[in-house]
Amino acid sequence: MKKSHIFIMAIIAVAAAIILSTTADASVYVGFGEARQRAAEGNTTKVHVVGKLPRDAQKQPIGLEYDPMTDPNYFAFTLVDSTQIAQRVVYNNPKPQDFDASEQVVITGCMKGQVFMADNILLKCPSKYVKKDLNEGATASVK
């Protein structure tokens, strides 16, 4: 075998190893029911869960627990997934800015006991552009 063939095979092997390591790290989107089932089976891979915050009559989120004076790196809240299962979530980092205004929350992590331990929180906040405002701007530019 030529040295160039060995070199090309080594590059292919390294590329394959990189691809396999990144796909093994990818997590999937599940509900809290499946996250609990995975944890019961001993599967500790990270998953994504999409949900909404439960709100009271004044549209304020309920079940938030955050006291930056006591522990700025402890934030707990309740999240309701797409199958309407409510779950307590603990995030060992400061509360994200605009968390209260978010329409939808995507968390990444895994179940530990009866609590979902989140490593990352992504927020979908309401758009600052309202349809009414867009229509007013369109008619104003036509005049």
Over its C-alpha atoms, the chain yields an Rg (Å, rounded) of 22
Asked if residue 129 is part of any domain, the answer here is no
Asked if residue 8 is part of any domain, the answer here is no
Asked if residue 119 is part of any domain, the answer here is yes
pLDDT digits (tens, 9 = 90+) for 2-20: 888 888 888 898 888 777 7
32-39: Cβ within 8 A, 24+ apart: 32/79, 32/81, 32/83, 32/85, 32/86, 32/87, 32/116, 33/83, 33/85, 35/87, 35/110, 35/111, 35/116, 36/111, 38/110, 38/111, 39/110, 39/111, 39/112
pTM over 0.85: no
Asked if residue 65 is part of any domain, the answer here is yes
pLDDT digits (tens, 9 = 90+) for 87-109: 999 999 999 988 988 889 999 99
- 3 state SS of 110: strand
Domain that holds residue 35: 28-124
Asked if residue 95 is part of any domain, the answer here is yes
> Is residue 136 scored above 60 in pLDDT?
no
**Which pLDDT band, with edges at 50, 70 and 90, does 139 fall under?**
low
**Which pLDDT band, with edges at 50, 70 and 90, does 26 fall under?**
low
The number of distinct structural domains making up the chain is 1
**Which pLDDT band, with edges at 50, 70 and 90, does 129 fall under?**
low
For residues 41-70, give the mean pLDDT.
92
**Which pLDDT band, with edges at 50, 70 and 90, does 73 fall under?**
very high
> Is residue 80 scored above 70 in pLDDT?
yes
Burial of 32 (0-12, 13-18, 19+ CB in 10 A): buried
The more confidently predicted of residues 119 and 25 is: 119
**Which pLDDT band, with edges at 50, 70 and 90, does 27 fall under?**
low
Asked if residue 16 is part of any domain, the answer here is no
